[in-house]
């Protein structure tokens, strides 16, 4: 005769303390942050906060910035080599690899300022800037909005010289992520795309009957 062996379910609960107490503020002191400013921008890269531009509220604007790493509690300067001209009231987005800044004014609000229609792309991996094309860019403005969709930056409205409020929409696609389609071939349900510099990439079409001329982003 066999006596059944009882089985006991043991639940183990672990309480892991939070890195910092919840709903609290903590001042970070290490490193040398950028000079004091307002009307700047800030983006989060996934590991760092990048701040750039702005003004000192008495007429001077900046084309400087810094990168703050909360893990190491440290600041790193953003290079000014090749950076856009100093400005405030601009907007910035993070693409996943670059920070794009665009627009703004070249003096503090309330000063004799000129609106800007220029910008730049900052790569923290190389600490370098790339100028943005102004061809087809929106009219110069500040106080606009900008978002990153995953493939392009959308810019909407803003304030321009002469007390003009804009009500327009523009999109900007970084040139490193776009190829122009030169020909298409349909093969067993797959669309074979031929690019000027890259060939052999295959995209499967699930519900499209036709393809109009356009551009396709490089897959991440």
Question: CB-hemisphere CA count at 13 Å for 198?
Answer: 13
Question: For the residues 13-24, what does the mean pLDDT come to?
Answer: 64
0.75 exceeded by the pTM? no
Whether 156 shows a pLDDT value over 80: the answer reads yes
Q: Quickly count: other Cβ atoms within 10 Å of residue 62's Cβ.
A: 21
Whether 103 shows a pLDDT value over 70: the answer reads yes
Whether 212 shows a pLDDT value over 80: the answer reads no
pLDDT at 1: 53
> By the 8 A CB rule, do 69 and 31 touch?
no
All structural domains of the chain, each given as residue ranges with its CATH number in brackets, are 41-173 (2.120.10.80), 178-217 (no CATH)
Whether 202 shows a pLDDT value over 70: the answer reads no
Could you report the per-residue pLDDT of 122-141, keeping only the tens digit for each? 999 999 999 998 888 899 99
């Amino acid at each position: 005769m066999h006596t059944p062996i009882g089985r006991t379910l043991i639940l183990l609960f672990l309480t892991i303390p939070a890195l910092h107490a919840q709903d609290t503020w903590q001042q970070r002191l290490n490193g040398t942050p950028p000079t004091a400013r307002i009307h700047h921008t800030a983006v989060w890269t996934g590991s760092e906060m990048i701040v750039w531009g702005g003004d000192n509220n008495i007429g001077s604007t900046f084309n400087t910035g810094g990168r703050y790493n909360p893990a190491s509690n440290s600041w790193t300067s953003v290079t000014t080599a090749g950076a856009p001209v100093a400005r405030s009231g601009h907007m910035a987005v993070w693409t996943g690899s670059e920070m794009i800044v665009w627009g703004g004014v070249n003096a503090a609000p309330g000063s004799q300022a000129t609106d800007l229609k220029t910008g730049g792309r900052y790569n923290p991996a190389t600490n370098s800037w790339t100028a943005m094309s102004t061809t087809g860019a929106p009219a110069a403005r500040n106080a606009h909005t900008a978002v990153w969709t995953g493939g392009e930056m959308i810019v909407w409205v803003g304030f321009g010289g002469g007390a003009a409020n804009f009500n327009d929409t523009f999109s900007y696609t970084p040139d490193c992520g776009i190829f122009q389609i030169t020909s298409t071939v349909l093969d067993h349900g797959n669309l074979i795309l031929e690019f000027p510099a890259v060939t052999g990439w295959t995209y499967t079409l699930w519900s499209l009957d036709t393809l109009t001329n356009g551009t396709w982003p490089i897959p991440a």
